[in-house]
Amino acid sequence: MPSEQISEPSPIDIVNEFVENIEYDVLLFDGFESAIIGMSAHRMDEPVRVVYDCAKMVDVLMTRDGMSREEAEEFVERSAMATWVGKPTPIIMTPLSYIDGA
């Protein structure tokens, strides 16, 4: 009998399962599911927020949309990082290795 291979859930599957159990909306950046790296901790009056990796967002734009690194970085900076729609706005984390260019 062939063994069944169990696949790991994707980041978006984990987020969707988590948000089913909370009473407020969690905002997502469409098309950047593979750049999700986690969720913020819930604090007193702060909602849980989705956390994205800036470097992975740049990679998505370069791969999916054929942008140069410079174009992708500018897009993330001007579009995603500049977005504020209140407390549930996603967090974009920039790895130190990305800043340092390592």
pTM attached to this predicted model: 0.77
**Residue at 29 is within a domain:** yes
| pLDDT score of 90 | 94
- The answer, yes or no, to whether residue 2 has pLDDT greater than 90, is no
Q: Which residue has the higher pLDDT, 68 or 4?
A: 68
Give the Cβ contact number of residue 99 at 10 Å: 10
**Residue at 2 is within a domain:** no
**Residue 53 lies in domain:** 11-96
**Residue at 46 is within a domain:** yes
Residue 91 contacts residue 52 (beta carbons within 8 Å) = yes
Number of domains in the chain: 1
- The answer, yes or no, to whether residue 32 has pLDDT greater than 90, is yes
45: CB partners within 8 A, 6+ apart: none
- The answer, yes or no, to whether residue 102 has pLDDT greater than 60, is no
Binning pLDDT at 50, 70 and 90, where does residue 96 land? confident
Beta bridge pairs of residue 38: 51
Mean pLDDT of 10-33: 81
